[in-house]
Chains A and B, each alone.
Chain A
Amino acid sequence: MDKATIICRCEEITYEEIEEVIGHGAASFDDIKRLTRCGMGACQSKVCSHLVLQVIHEITGKPLQEILLPRMRMPITPIKIETLATNSTEFSTVKSVLDELELEDGKVK
């Protein structure tokens, strides 16, 4: 593959950039992703994942079936915040930073 070939089209990451971080020890798709942003764009690795696995395989010689696949995350396909949101006005696990501030005898500790 030509070094200038774009592997990740969303983030415009080339073969050369991927090769470089594999040289630094990156061994899985997600290792490469966090160092280069490959697969972090709009398609969330749907387009590039197989290509990246092939590059890892070519460079490291590791059998394809042993290379970890990217971790897919919700919501899989982009979805509007208003679609996800609910009518609830209560917050349980999500907090405001000021909520955490504890006063002792009416004073900041």
Chain B
Amino acid sequence: MIKDYETLIIGAGVIGNSIAYHLSERSREKILVLDKKFPLSGTSGSTQAWVWVHNKNPSWYAEFSMYSAELYPYLSKKIGDVEYKRTGGLSPFFNEADREKAEKLAEAYREIGIKIKVLTRAEVLEKEPHLNPAVAGATFSKIDGNVNPFRLVDMFMRAAKKQGVEYSYYTSVTGVEKKNDYYIVKSTKGIYRCKNLLLAGGTWSREIGKMLGINIPINQLRGQILVTEPLKPFLNYTISGMRQANNGEVLIGYSMEQAGFNRATTLDVIQETANLAQHYVPAIRKAKIVRAFSGIRAMPEDGFPILGKIPGYDNLYLAATHSGVTLAPLIGTLMTELLVEGETSIPIDRYSISRFS
């Protein structure tokens, strides 16, 4: 039996869920979200979940990230407490030579309305007393923060379900074809027919694209993170590389490796991350690590989000990006506008997949 939906979303990560939720606010038509596993089992559940703006590069991408960060307080009011904290973000540097680079960053971002301060050593240590006294300075922005990614996806899902969105988990898509005005989506749990098809497959986007003969240039980039035992609150800001969660655990890591879909943690990166931790905050050397985990980033070939309609296909949409946690509120809002009104309030032409052809 074929089940009919107005809109079918492939992928129940933070992006697919944000779109499902925002769309269900605007549309009463039937929406189905498919996930090959269970939400949070992939990228969205294995992240430090910074909501990060201040050294996104170039400045137009920082601006895009800023609009999304600005949506978080309102979103938390609507879907419930997602432990969003606008702590301010601090990127320390240990080499005085980096100050010039930092000043240039601050100058470029002033023009687009993102205030970045370049701090002196004394200012850094006043803000974050436990940082290594050998620090030379830091860039600092008030707009940065972090969120609990588990609560974020869970709340999106609960709110979407209340608004009538249906979900099917452990449902792998096995084939997609266009038939007249509809898409037929075959899966391990059944066959679905929909008018709008939205691809939000994250790291698996390339594989989903192949089913339609479309090249979606998304690669995988692994990151490994260490989690400490709960410690008394001692970090005031989201530091690039380190943040303290509400329960006192510190998440540490900023690593990048090309390892395909291999989700292993490796001793060399764990050790390097431990080195980073005690280099940033010497006192943390006495804290215990309870767990190391790794996550696979969805990384577009040029690093920027791929958003919008897929040219040449009616009612086929794509949202595939790195920094999904930062961008989810904005992407959910804009993709909904695109589906409901046919255009977006903030231009997204720059992010079209057509830039790769």
Contacts and interface: CB of A to CB of B under 8 A. Distances in A.
B55 interface: yes
B44 to A, nearest CB: 9
B320 to A, nearest CB: 20
B182 interface: no
A91 B265 contact: no
Interface stretch (A1-9, A48-56, A82-90): A82-90
Contacts of B348: none
A44 to B, nearest CB: 6
B234 interface: no
Contacts of B102: 98
Interface string A40-69: 111010000000000000000000000000
Interface stretch (B66-74, B198-206, B251-259): B251-259
Contacts of A44: 290-291
B344 interface: no
Contacts of A109: 57-59
Contacts of B92: 96
B174 interface: no
Contacts of A75: 270, 289, 291-292
Interface residues of B, number: 60
Interface stretch (B20-28, B187-195, B276-284, B321-329): B276-284
A101 B101 contact: yes
A95 B221 CA distance: 14
Nearest to A87: B275
Contact of B288 (A24, A26, A78, A96): A78
B241 interface: yes
B310 interface: no
A81 B289 contact: yes
Nearest to A101: B57
B290 A42 contact: yes
B293 interface: yes
Contacts of A35: 40, 150, 154
B286 interface: yes
Contact of A98 (B139, B267, B276): B139
B101 A103 contact: yes
Contacts of B267: 74
B78 interface: no
Given A27-B38, A34-B150, A101-B105, A96 B93 contact: yes
Contacts of A74: 265, 267, 270, 291-292
Interface in B221-250: 226, 228-229, 240-241
A26 B272 contact: no
Contacts of B290: 41-42, 44, 78
A82 B108 contact: no
Given A34-B41, A35-B154, A42-B229, A82 B278 contact: yes
B272 A93 contact: yes
Contact of B254 (A31, A84, A97): A97
Contacts of A94: 241, 253-255, 269, 272-273, 275-276
Interface of A: 24-28, 30-31, 34-35, 37, 40-42, 44, 73-75, 78-82, 84-86, 88-89, 91-98, 100-103, 106-109
